Amino acid sequence: MERVKDNNSTMNKNLRFTMVYVDGYVLPVPKKNLQVYRKMAQLAGKIWKKHGALQYTECVGDDLNSKLSGIKFPKTVQAKTSEQIIFAFIIFKSKTHRDRVNAKVMKEFMEDPKTKGMSMPFDIKRMVYGGFKPLVNIKSTHF
C-alpha cells in the first residue's frame, strides 16, 4: 500500500485517516419551535461551512431511552416532555482551525442583520457544549 503522510493525515488508496477537531453539543428545543430551530440551524450550517468548517450536522433525538445508557440524553439537558433533543457536531481540521472559524462565524453573527440579535428558539442555559479531540476516527470511503 502506498502511503502519503502530511501534518494531519496518512492516506492510502482506499482509506484516509485524518485527525480533526470536533465541537459537539446537546440541547433541548421546544417541539413547537423545531421548525424555527431547523431554519436557524440551516443558516448557521451555511455560515460555518462558508468560513471553513469541514462538516456541520444537527440531529433530532429518535431513540433516547436505550437500556445501554446510564444517563439519558434528555436528563443531561433537563428536557421537558414538550421538548426534542438536538445532538449536533461541527468538524474542523484542528483546534486552531476551529478557533479561527468560530471567530469568523461569531463576527458574522454579530454583524449580519439576519442574525444580529436573533432570539434563540431554545434555552441556551441548558445547552451542553464542548470541543473534542478524536480518540478513534475511522472513515468509510462509501459515506
Distance (Å, whole) CA 23 – CA 106: 15
C-alpha cell of 94?
A: 484542528
Tens place of pLDDT for every residue, the chain, 143 residues? 333 344 444 434 334 556 799 999 999 999 999 999 999 999 999 999 999 999 999 999 999 988 888 888 888 899 999 999 999 999 999 999 999 999 999 999 889 887 777 888 999 999 999 999 999 888 777 65
> What type of residue sits at position 81?
T
pTM of the model: 0.82
Domains, the chain, in order of start with CATH, read 18-62+70-132 (3.30.70.100)
